[in-house]
Amino acid sequence: MKNSILIVDDQEINRVILAELFKDDFNIIQAENGDQAMKIINRDNSIVAIMLDLIMPVMDGMSVLIELNRSGKIYHTPVFIITAADNMQLLSSAYSLGAVDIISKPFRMCFIKSRICNIIELYRHRNELVDVVNENVAKMSKLNDKMVEVLATLIEFRDCESGEHVKRIRGITQRLLTHVCEKYPEYFLEKKAIDNISKAAVLHDVGKIAIPDSILQKPGMLTPEEFEIMKIHTVKGCDILAEMPADIMDEEVYRYSYDICRHHHERWDGHGYPDGLKGDETPIWAQVVAVADVFDALTSPRVYKAAFDYNTAIKMINDGDCGKFNPKLLESFNEVVGEIIRVRQESK
């Protein structure tokens, strides 16, 4: 099937002249105003170029350019301005909105076809290159995600866990942080940031690789000396992340992972570790992971304890038995914990 050129002009004679010039190489689609043109553009993926008059009834060419710019279609399909006007301010505005060239009236037929075909070919190559780059970026991102998950899961196995802990932490973080960001504007984050934070959360305990097995897998309570050693997993995790090659994870995920590793044991009243941060001195993403980690730890069996039931765990978190948390974060936790429990039960 031939690619298409869309000719948008309220003067039929102009459309006929341009259509005759390109009919052997392209399928020609015509519109007599911008409204018709936009309807065609939104349903037809075969269009490789648009010839657009600026002065038209119903919807003019500038309005079409604004809409193409807003939707991003202008970056994939070249737009040529058809005009007899010599209004430099108008033409400058058209260029600023993404138009690539001017087709002046009266038409100079010997030049138009070569210019337009050359630019169509240039856009074709550029679009193919963008597709290849996006495909490779997606593959690399997927590979990086898997490598991060494998590293986190290895730590969980060493900690005598099933590896499901890291998956649950990611899910709890996603749901709780989304709710916090919706409920409290001061903590608002874009969805992409929430996704990256949830991805980074799986590395919260990566520093446990530096903790001796005798402490990490001890079935009973730790002595004060042993607990001091256990606490260094926060800073050791940051050391490990700092030594990871730059292509293992993107910069934003690295930054969130670093914060989470170091600060997921900080507490709202400053009685956490390693830095004794108070209140919102701890980034909200580390605060959320702290709650997610505590809730999952309480409700899961460990070598040193049986699992608590959900109601007991929720009460312990609200009562401060596991350290003080941000009151706003607790409010969000209480509102979303039912959904977290439901998802967790359905996944068993």
Catalytic amino acids? 208
Backbone angles phi, psi at 23, to 5 degrees: -65, -25
Return the bridge partners of 49, or none.
Answer: 5
8 Å CB contact between 84 and 54: no
C-alpha to C-alpha distance for 68 and 70, rounded to whole angstroms: 5
Angle value at C-alpha 251, between 248 and 253, nearest 5 degrees: 80
SS3 194: helix
* Number of Cβ within a 10 Å radius of residue 202: 26
Q: Which two tokens stand for residue 307?
A: 């699992």
Q: Which two tokens stand for residue 60?
A: 């003019």
What is the sign, positive or negative, of the torsion defined by CA atoms of 155, 158, 163, 165? negative
Return the bridge partners of 83, or none.
Answer: 104
Quick one: which H or E segment has residue 50? Answer: strand 47-53
DSSP structural state of residue 261: H
Q: Which two tokens stand for residue 59?
A: 């919807």
CA proximity to 292, closest of 191, 205, 183, 206: 205
Strand order in the sheet with 4-8: 27-31, 4-8, 47-53, 79-83, 101-104
